[in-house]
Amino acid sequence: MSTPVTYAPQKQFVGIARETVQGTPVNMTATMLVDSFKPKDSPKFLEDKAWRGAMSDDSFAQIPGTQIADLDLGGPVFLDGLGDVLRNIMGDLATTGTSTGTGGTTLSASASVGATTISTVATIPNGTQIQIGSGATAEVFTTGTPTGSGPYSIPLTTPAGGLVYAHASAQVVQPVTGPFTYAWSLLNSGTGQPPSHTLTHMLGPTATSGTRQYPGACFSEVGFKWNAESDLFTWDAKATAYPSVILGSAPTSNPGNTAPMASWRMAVGIGGPAAGGTLIPTVMDGEVTLKRELTPYFTGNGVQSPYIIQRAGFTVEGKLSFIAASEAPYLYMINNTQPQLQLLISNGLSGLSAGSVQFDFAKAAFTESEPDGSKSAVEYSDVFKAVLNTTNSGGSGSYSPCKISVTCNVPPGTY
């Protein structure tokens, strides 16, 4: 008697990679450390119910229609794995490094979007990581071999594709090292469409590779949760993708070495940063939810998959639960103060291992505040909505409801 064939779900894993063309699958470049992944291919079937003289309301044929896939996933937040998800749902990215303190110079001429070489007042050695500009348009590259005798021509070798933002003459060019801070805001330039991603799911039963890929994935919702008493800092998400395809050869799991963070590390600042006099020490738990409107468009082009999954409006909302040290949580709502709100969780490490996630809301409108007098201490449960503002906007300009920054030692260009 032969041994029955079965597959152990403990061996499954999920990978992700940024696409060049939406819907064209690419091999995974990173392992997503999730504890839940629920994919669902959802083909439509068109029914033939033309009358034929039969006493039934069933169809006489099921005709294949269009196809789409829906994904639900989530798990603990890992600092090195969060970037792809935020790039997908928000789009705008600025990158800054940790200054080495030496070797700085300035641009001797302006640099345009897409440029793969910059001109600097002082030379920069081959293989140096440099930060060009600051703030919302900061970006980090590794240099190639310099040429010239002053000003100097400095190739930008990694990441490929050249400058994302234009930079004026005299902007600072500074050698940097890790850790790096990646700041995401709402993308408003060009088509307003962030990159899409291929999600790869190694589960086992699929022929040859044991793996299906879900290309063209666009996140419609990303939620973050924390509970200081009992939980890790976690995330969950929903995405829409093109129909799954079979991967030709088995992928390899290659997880990073960062650890998730306990929720008690979350600091909340209202009316200022999550430190000093604006640190609020009475928040027990909370949520932040990013939502993106998606519409798959189908056309008569001979294929069942979407022509495009279009990203539209982006909104952010959240919840905070307070121990009532005062009536302040209620007053945020009833007085419509719309204070600055900052949420900051750090791994507590230093050097290259240091990492954090920071949520910045220049204006948070508290729209609900419910007192609870049924427990050992009086509590308030508040709901807030992010208000569009220019303070949180990125290099693409216009408005953004928030900015989310992740500090980790992932190399620039990864996201």
Q: Which amino acid is at 47?
A: E
Report yes or no: 29 and 17 within 8 Å, Cβ to Cβ: yes
Q: Which residues contact 396 (CB under 8 A, 6 or more apart)?
A: 91, 92, 185, 186, 187, 188, 189, 190
pLDDT over 80 (residue 50): yes
Question: What's residue 2's pLDDT?
Answer: 81
Global pTM reads 0.96
Taking residues 348-377, report their average pLDDT.
97
Residue-averaged pLDDT of the chain: 97
pLDDT number for residue 70: 98
Determine phi and psi for 211, rounding to 5 degrees: -135, 140
- Residue 236 burial (CB count, 10 A): 16
Read off the tokens for 312: 């539209």
b/e map 367-376, b = 16+ CB within 10 Å:
eebeeeeeee
Q: Which phi-psi region, left, alpha or beta, contains residue 221 (left: φ > 0; alpha: ψ -120 to 50)?
A: beta
Q: How far is residue 350's CA from residue 353's CA, in Å, rounded to a whole number?
A: 6
For the stretch 78-111, pLDDT in tens is 999 999 999 999 999 999 999 999 999 999 999 9
Q: Where are the beta strands (DSSP E) in 245-389?
A: 245-246, 266-270, 283-297, 308-323, 341-346, 356-361, 364-372, 379-386
CB 41 within 8 A of CB 92: no
Percent share of the chain, pLDDT over 90: 99
Q: Which residue has the tokens 């009316």?
A: 271
Q: Burial, 112: exposed, middle or buried (Cβ in 10 Å; 0-12, 13-18, 19+)?
A: exposed
What is the tens place of the pLDDT at every residue in 314-326? 999 999 999 999 9
Mean pLDDT on 62-85: 97
33 CB neighbour count, 10 Å cutoff: 18
What's the pLDDT at 59?
Answer: 95
In 3D space, the residue among 347, 350, 381 whose CA is nearest the CA of residue 261 turns out to be: 347
What is the rounded CA–CA span in Å between residue 149 and residue 50? 81
Beta partners for residue 218, in sequence order = 240
Instruction: Return the C-alpha torsion angle 80, 85, 91, 94, nearest 10.
Output: -10
Q: What is the rounded CA–CA span in Å between residue 68 and residue 214?
A: 10
Is 1 a residue whose pLDDT tops 90?
A: no
Question: What contacts 24+ positions apart, CB below 8 Å, involve 294-300?
Answer: 294/218, 294/220, 294/240, 296/68, 296/240, 298/66
d(CA 218, CA 44): 20
pLDDT at 411: 95
Spatial separation of the C-alpha atoms in residues 332 and 338, rounded to whole Å:
7
Residue corresponding to tokens 């088509």: 191
For position 3, what pLDDT does the model report? Answer: 87
Q: Which residues make Cβ contacts (< 8 Å) with residue 302, sequence separation at least 6?
A: none
pLDDT tens digits for range 242-263: 999 999 999 999 998 899 999 9
Closest CA to 342 of 261, 264, 403: 403
Q: How many residues does the chain have?
A: 415
pLDDT number for residue 267: 98
